[in-house]
Amino acid sequence: MFTPRTPRIAAARKLHRRRDRDDTRRFLAEGPQAVAEALGAPGTVIELFGTPEALHRYAVLGRAATDAGIPVSEVDDEALTVLAETVQPQGIVALCHQADVSLDDALGRGPRLVAALAEIRDPGNAGTVLRTADAAGAGAVVFAGDAVDPYNGKCVRATAGSLFHVDVVRGPGPVEVVKAAQAAGLTVLAATGYGEDDLDGLADSGALATRTMWIFGSEAHGLSADVLSAADHRVKAPMYGRAESLNLAAAAAVCLYASARALRQS
Amino acid sequence: MFTPRTPRIAAARKLHRRRDRDDTRRFLAEGPQAVAEALGAPGTVIELFGTPEALHRYAVLGRAATDAGIPVSEVDDEALTVLAETVQPQGIVALCHQADVSLDDALGRGPRLVAALAEIRDPGNAGTVLRTADAAGAGAVVFAGDAVDPYNGKCVRATAGSLFHVDVVRGPGPVEVVKAAQAAGLTVLAATGYGEDDLDGLADSGALATRTMWIFGSEAHGLSADVLSAADHRVKAPMYGRAESLNLAAAAAVCLYASARALRQS
């Protein structure tokens, strides 16, 4: 049974810090859902840690790991608490390789829908948008510029497993990302409350039925003038009531689903 | 200048507790945006508190209050910190009357779109859905059953002012809310990942172009079997990718905007 002082546990706990994640290109995914999704992405999981109770309860996960040649290590409750970030960890944590791909590689696979996050710092927001992008059928999610680390624990949890479903790109700055997407044949739509195009209008005209990258800025700062002018269209979600705007998660859901629906019909 | 020991400040700070909000039917709205929206809702603001700096910076708010006969009180930084919940309060807080209406009154006004939250406990989620419902043109938002207090500070902030735009109802249990909405002529759609109807299918068939109440459950527990069977349709958002589901904020955005778009076109 591993304890907090076991060298492998001591090394893994350091992955709560971004610097150590960046240096080692590793991260931790906690809880049965994230572990199951990680195990479903070949070559991702390095080692599975669990308490005896959790490894009994989620025996299917331990078996999947063993079948894939991944070591499964029993840890005591204290070691598990050290590895997990949540207050009520569910007893199981996977040590994973970071698996992001380059922007060129992601665009080279010809995705029909891409979501880019420009300098989004909030890990919960970023993870939620990634999950929504996956649900809408996006092939890639780009973290552009000085963005949150996609392997931040809170971001990983907010993706609810979608981190392991899409191509994750830690991109260059937002303007470069826009230009690369355009060079790859994607129409770039910038989501902004001040857009000259209305989402419903684009949907009605059929303009959404094309390979698209949406780019979203933070709620506090929006997108920079450079990004807005580099994009093909600046698009606002319609405001039917008296709210001034949607929050990031809601705006991304409305925009990405409008594209998904148009692409499905095309 | 008021200090933390001023009786009115001491009374107002207690409104951070739900019990005191419930007893007094009052609450606090902090920050210039919420204060501006509160002042825009006649009869809502009882007193405006601000530091000298904030009252100088947001002089327009002080003037609007004075013009409406609402007392404006200067407080010192310490008193403001006591009134505000955020780490970086922006120096201005409004003491407000709670203004929720009964379910019968809200339904009696004939809203075309209503959002109901069934036993949602997370204030940030609830506030976000209320904001999204306002953006989608909903006339009322119902907090059904054992839900978060809509006047919880975190919920108020997440609404970004929309709390003051729509009819807020602290409803009876979710099943009663469903039946009352149906009796008022609304079609009730229950959002669930296990729905037999697909949102796109309903949109394509024109079935969304009707007066509608959406009801949403918490991400952890969903909607109860009673609520699901009482609703007219159980509807799932389409999953175009590999995500199993959307989070509450994203699901509400996709569903409410699909209805808004259908109602606009009808």
Let me know if residue A117 belongs to a domain: yes
> Which of B97, B129, B157 is the C-terminal boundary of a domain?
B97
pLDDT at A63 over 80: yes
> Which of B60, B77, B97 is the C-terminal boundary of a domain?
B97
pLDDT one-digit tens code per residue, A42-56: 999 999 999 999 999
A131 and B250 within 8 Å at the Cβ level: the answer is: yes
> Which of A43, A72, A97 is the C-terminal boundary of a domain?
A97
Same domain, B243 and B228: yes
> Which residues is B189 bridged to in the sheet?
B214, B233
Whether A239 contacts chain B with CB within 8 A? yes
Residues of A in contact with B161 (CB under 8 A): 243-244
Q: What is the CATH number of the domain that holds A84?
A: 3.30.1330.30
Whether B250 contacts chain A with CB within 8 A? yes
Mean pLDDT of B1-19: 91
User: What does the alpha-carbon distance between residue A18 and residue A143 come to, in Å, rounded to a whole number?
Assistant: 15
Q: What percent of chain B has pLDDT over 70?
A: 100
Same domain, B92 and B108: no
Alpha helices (H) in A109-224, listed in sequence order = 123-135, 153-159, 174-183, 199-205
pLDDT one-digit tens code per residue, B79-105: 999 999 887 779 999 999 999 999 999
Whether B242 contacts chain A with CB within 8 A? yes
Q: Looking at residue B88, what is its pLDDT?
A: 75
pLDDT one-digit tens code per residue, A105-131: 999 999 999 999 999 999 999 999 999
Q: What is the CATH number of the domain that holds A152?
A: 3.40.1280.10
**Chain B residues 89-148 with CB within 8 Å of chain A:** 128, 131-138
Q: Looking at residue B54, what is its pLDDT?
A: 96
Helix axes B248-265 and B123-135, enclosed angle (nearest 10): 10
Same domain, B157 and B258: yes
Q: Looking at residue B81, what is its pLDDT?
A: 92
Q: Residue B5: which pLDDT band, with cuts at 50, 70 and 90? A: confident
Same domain, A87 and A211: no
Whole-number average pLDDT of chain B = 95
Let me know if residue B1 belongs to a domain: no
Whether A160 contacts chain B with CB within 8 A? yes
Q: Looking at residue A83, what is its pLDDT?
A: 93
Distance between start and end Cα atoms, chain A: 56
Alpha helices (H) in A89-191, listed in sequence order = 103-108, 123-135, 153-159, 174-183
Same domain, A77 and A118: no
Whether B266 contacts chain A with CB within 8 A? no
Token code pair at residue A108: 């080279």
A229 Cβ contact list (under 8 Å, min separation 6): none
User: What does the alpha-carbon distance between residue A206 and residue A125 come to, in Å, rounded to a whole number?
Assistant: 29
User: What does the alpha-carbon distance between residue B160 and residue B137 come to, in Å, rounded to a whole number?
Assistant: 15
Residues of B in contact with A158 (CB under 8 A): 247
Let me know if residue B2 belongs to a domain: no
What SS3 state is found at A58?
Answer: coil
Same domain, B108 and B236: yes
Mean pLDDT of B184-200: 96
Let me know if residue A194 belongs to a domain: yes
Token code pair at residue A52: 């005896």
Same domain, A208 and A138: yes
Alpha carbon B188 to its chain centroid, in Å, reads 19
Same domain, A116 and A20: no
Token code pair at residue B233: 């349709």
| Number of domains composing chain A | 2
User: What does the alpha-carbon distance between residue B150 and residue A31 come to, in Å, rounded to a whole number?
Assistant: 31
A194 Cβ contact list (under 8 Å, min separation 6): A234, A236
pLDDT at A87 over 90: no
Same domain, A111 and A231: yes
pLDDT one-digit tens code per residue, A162-207: 999 999 999 899 999 999 999 999 999 999 999 999 999 999 999 9
Lowest mean pLDDT among A75-89, B33-47, B88-102: A75-89
Let me know if residue A65 belongs to a domain: yes
Let me know if residue B218 belongs to a domain: yes
pLDDT at A141 over 80: yes
Same domain, A135 and A248: yes
Residues of B in contact with A255 (CB under 8 A): none
- Calculate the CA dihedral of residues B13, B17, B20, B23 and round it to 10 degrees: 140
Most A-contacting residue of B128, B168, B236, B240 (CB-CB within 10 A), to test interface: B240
User: In terms of Cα–Cα distance, which of A60, A64, A59 is closest to A42?
Assistant: A64
Same domain, B167 and B130: yes
User: What does the alpha-carbon distance between residue A93 and residue A84 come to, in Å, rounded to a whole number?
Assistant: 7
pLDDT at A88 over 90: no
Helix (H), strand (E), coil (C) string for chain B: CECCCCHHHHHHHHHHCHHHHHHHCEEEEECHHHHHHHHCCCCCEEEEEECHHHHHHCHHHHHHHHHCCCCEEEECHHHHHHHCCCCCCCCEEEEEECCCECHHHHHHCCCCEEEEEECCCCHHHHHHHHHHHHHCCCCEEEEECCCCCCCCHHHHHHHCCHHHCCEEEECCCHHHHHHHHHHCCCEEEEECCCCCEEHHHHHHHCCCCCCEEEEECECCCECCHHHHHHCCEEEECCCCCCCCCCCHHHHHHHHHHHHHHHHHHC
Q: Looking at residue B171, what is its pLDDT?
A: 84
Handedness of CA A42, A47, A51, A52 (dihedral sign): positive
The yes/no answer to whether this complex scores an ipTM above 0.90 is yes
Side-chain-side CA neighbours of residue A171 (13 Å): 31
Let me know if residue A122 belongs to a domain: yes
Whether B65 contacts chain A with CB within 8 A? no
B50 Cβ contact list (under 8 Å, min separation 6): B58, B61, B62, B72, B73, B74, B75, B80, B91, B92, B93
Distance between start and end Cα atoms, chain B: 56
Mean pLDDT of A2-26: 93
Q: Which amino acid is at A248?
A: L
Same domain, B64 and B170: no
pLDDT one-digit tens code per residue, B138-184: 999 999 999 999 999 999 999 999 999 999 999 899 999 999 999 99
Let me know if residue B56 belongs to a domain: yes
pLDDT one-digit tens code per residue, A92-109: 999 999 999 999 999 999
B260 and A240 within 8 Å at the Cβ level: the answer is: yes
User: In terms of Cα–Cα distance, which of B163, B116, B118, B114 is closest to B140?
Assistant: B114
pLDDT at B65 over 90: yes
Among A133, A165, A250, the residue with its CB nearest the CB of B128 is A250
Residue the block writes with tokens 């994203």 = B250
Alpha carbon A206 to its chain centroid, in Å, reads 28
User: What does the alpha-carbon distance between residue A138 and residue A131 come to, in Å, rounded to a whole number?
Assistant: 10
Domain that holds residue A86: 7-97
